[in-house]
Amino acid sequence: MFGQSHSGGSDSASSPSGGRAISSSVAANTAYIQQLLGSPTDLLIREFGAGPRKHRLVLVSIDGLADKTVLNDDVLGVIQSGDWLQQTSLPDAGEAVLDALHHEVLAINGIERIATMDEAVLNILSGNSALFVEGATQALALSSQGWKSRGVEEPQTEALIRGPREGFTEDMRVNTALLRRRLRDPNLRMDSIQIGRRSKKDVVIAYIQGIVHPGLVKEVKRRIGTIDVDDPEGSGFIEQWIMDSFLSPFPQILNTERPDKTTAALTQGKVAIIVDGTPFTLVLPITIGSLVQSPEDYYTDWIISTLMRILRFIAAFLATFLPALYIALVEYHQGMIPSKLAFSIAGSREGVPFPAVIEASLMEVTLEVLREAGVRLPRPIGQTIGIVGGLVIGEAAVAAGIVSPIMVIVVSITAISSFALPSYAFATSLRIIRFGVMMAAAAFGLYGIVLAYIMINIHIVNLKSFGIPFSTPFAPFFRGDWKDLVVRAPVTLLTRRPQMMQTTDEVRMDTHEGK
């Protein structure tokens, strides 16, 4: 189920293996690094002698990536104190000095021996430091990452009324720490890999061993392993690369800024992909029900949560079909409109020179342009443009007789409905589908809407997310998963994990009934 084929990319991702060996001459090593990097101004090379025997050492790092406090206090300060050399009878051999630095002197948590210059350069460009010793054919890679990063803040795209206010950042280690703080399970696995020929971007695949289906983890690693490009630009690039169907407008992988949403998905048997340099974590697989669920559903009473979910399903329907229904009723099926409402619509459209489909298309395109302008502009200006621009343009269009007031109401309800959906990607996909449904309604009326609805359902039924049918648990039908779909059952009844995930451990709550 999780092992279906996926086309695209090459066979494997690049990895630093082999390469030029480290020379016993520190001068040759530093010259090679300078030549390889082009002698950049931010390359820091500190050459010094330590102890009464003046052992020659070189510390190489990148300014801005390495923490200078760590280098000055925990590396240079300790080595140049000379106490460790005076208290030991070390020979002049560089290997002995390197071994003493590794096991007795340096008190840095992350320290390892490296044997090639490729490893040394990769560590330097990753924010670590490389320590070379004259006469030694190995070097020490020291953990000294300390670049500036944004602090933990409230997610901008997934705000909640009731719930935690912390979100992921661009620092991958901060993100993994947020997950481990919430999920203190020793079975939580975080497998690290590097992708990108030139960027060597760090990626973490997170899952809970003993819950997740092993085939799912294997398939995720296989698809990520096919990425063989210079620089996979963030999680969005990876999402597009590993998704099942790139022709579908629906998102097949969920992106989120919320650690609580990610940990909840992990406990359900899903997999999370954390990419260094982006605050958006990928969660997979997903279904269409996942796109209308919000973390806030579990922080409030089940009755309120159920009502909110029902409203979201109604909002998804309105965002997709409301303009098309208006076009079909006004153009083809006027007899289906109640008499008083029909007279009101006819009176409001008196003098409008365009048919309903042109009228709706003009307003929808204008709304989309305003929405994009509000996103791209600075936040204070963007909010003003979105609100004032919509009011002014709508009122001016009605006064000029280009559109009818009822059309402005229809477009406004459609826009508000799309904002009610918790997934921005899902709301965007509905915006795309909306125009196709409008064209079908303009051509065939209600019959066109029915045909478009059938085609959308056929597409959803045939769509998969890592082997899981996108229409689950509607089709295929899983009765147990309906407890957390449209209706969010009380938490005491959510005793089992989703059946569609085929988890190794199906029970997530022990009750007195043993369920």
Question: What Rg do the C-alpha atoms of the chain give, in angstroms?
Answer: 30
Residues 6+ apart with CB under 8 A from 399: none
Residues 20, 5: contact at Cβ < 8 Å?
no
Residues 245, 426: contact at Cβ < 8 Å?
no
Burial of 256 (0-12, 13-18, 19+ CB in 10 A): buried
* 238-283 tens-digit pLDDT: 999 999 999 999 999 999 999 999 999 999 999 999 999 899 999 9
Structure tokens at 83: 């106490």
Distances (CA, A) of 6 to 9, 10, 100, 215, 232: 9, 11, 50, 14, 18
Residues 6+ apart with CB under 8 A from 17: 118
Sheet of 271-275, strand order = 188-195, 201-208, 271-275, 281-284, 254-256
Distances (CA, A) of 99 to 90, 174, 196, 310: 10, 32, 33, 65
Q: Which residues of the chain have pLDDT under 70?
A: 1-18, 50-53, 82-92, 379-380, 382-388, 511-515
Q: Residue 163 CA to chain centroid, in angstroms?
A: 20
Q: Which pLDDT value is given to residue 51?
A: 59
Q: Residue 385 CA to chain centroid, in angstroms?
A: 28
* 430-440 tens-digit pLDDT: 999 999 999 99
Query: Which DSSP string do the residues of 151-220 spell out, in sequence order?
Result: PP---SSS--SSS------S-HHHHHHHHHHH---TTEEEEEEEE-TTT-EEEEEEEETTTS-HHHHHHH
Q: Which pLDDT value is given to residue 429?
A: 94
* 434-471 tens-digit pLDDT: 999 999 999 999 999 999 999 999 999 999 999 899 99
Q: Which residues pair with 141 in a beta bridge?
A: 112, 130
In one-letter notation, the amino acid at residue 405 is P
Map tokens 């969660």 to a residue.
283
Q: Note the pTM of the prediction, 2 decimals.
A: 0.85
Residues 274, 265: contact at Cβ < 8 Å?
no
